[in-house]
Structure 1
Amino acid sequence: MLSNAVVNLAIIIVTCVVSFAGFSNPRLIDRLILWPPAITRGREYWRLASCGLIHADPPHLLFNMITLYFFGRLMESFFVPRIGEIGYLLFYVGGLVASSLPSWYEHRTDAGYRSLGASGAVSAVLFAFILLMPWATIYVIVLPVPAVIYAVLYLGYTIYMDRQRSDRINHSAHLWGAVYGIVVTGLIEPSVLGAFARQLLRPMVSM
């Protein structure tokens, strides 16, 4: 089914097209970016999801889309038999919204705050994959790391950096996207929770 992961591919294509358009079109960025006052006062709720269509620069876009390509096609093959292609699309869009809501609420009156990128939804897809295959190998640059170990390190780093507020990355979106991916996958297919626990006890076995 991996060759038929058309929804994931469509998400990547649309995101790339809009992101590249945004690199040279500040007005497009301003219209789509997560700017909390526009939601709080202007009720422009689409920004909770549209912020995932734009990126700060090509490396930001490339990292997110490569991650989505490799893990999203696997997760689409998992979700489609259960909730259909539209269901997988809604899972992805829901990841954007769920990862944006905490940032909106925290900065709902902050006119200087802005956030963009698909990282929240990509985290949702990645952590849904980790829930299914905790001992799969994930390559961090060139270093192979078991997925569950990567998850622990990633979440620890994300929580730490979110509290530090020492860079311009929206670490909160990464965290809540990951939580969303785990929770929703568990709700859609509750059996994966037990399978996850069993796999943790058998490190050499993956689904």
Structure 2
Amino acid sequence: MKRSLLTLSMICLLFCFGANAQQDQMIKRGDYTLVFINNSKIISEELAQNIVNTFFEVYPKMVTEYNPEATKKVTILIDLNYKKVAVSGKGKITLGALWMQQHPEDTDLVTHELVHIVQDFKALGPEWLIEGLADCGRFQYGLNNAAADWSLPSLSSYQSYKMGYRVAARFLLWVNKFQESSTIFQLNTALKYNTYSADSWKEITGKSLDELWALYLQNNDID
């Protein structure tokens, strides 16, 4: 009887381990490889596939446009133990499983983080600018922004470019459209090679950052 109970216990342990085991996949399409790791059971197969498809759809385009030297191999981890939204660095993106479960349409969160991967900046620049550029990438390459109810905000008097993210992205896109069409590319390049400074704005556009913001407040249309 004791031996039977022991055997049954071992079977249960193996079953439980298998049910909670980390799911690792290495997926290769052309020159690009995705290591996809899911340590949770709360993400649907459809959502997981949408995340994978987002990588292969948007990342090669980013590499071609902004950094042909960027890594062609990226890891995406969906982590049940990560309680925040997302973080990226050194070719790896970690997504909070709970966030993704609760916001299954927000797959372009991956697009935002992939911009950070492709930027591969050699030094830290202003956080508002780095996050603003990443949301420019989400705006440009995003596949599911509308379904996720993600859009660039209308300009309000309380805003500042220092708020970063979508606020800064709208400003950067305006500068790129109405002042100098290579602004976003040149800012990415300057940050990548650690040549960015406060003077970069005048070197690129002929105007200082604060002068550009003042003009933006007068005419903020990017449509």
Q: TM-score, normalised by structure 2?
A: 0.30
Rg: which structure is higher? 2
Q: TM-score, normalised by structure 1?
A: 0.32
Of structures 1 and 2, the one with the larger relative CO (CA 8 A, separation 6+) is: 1
Q: Which has the higher strand share?
A: 2
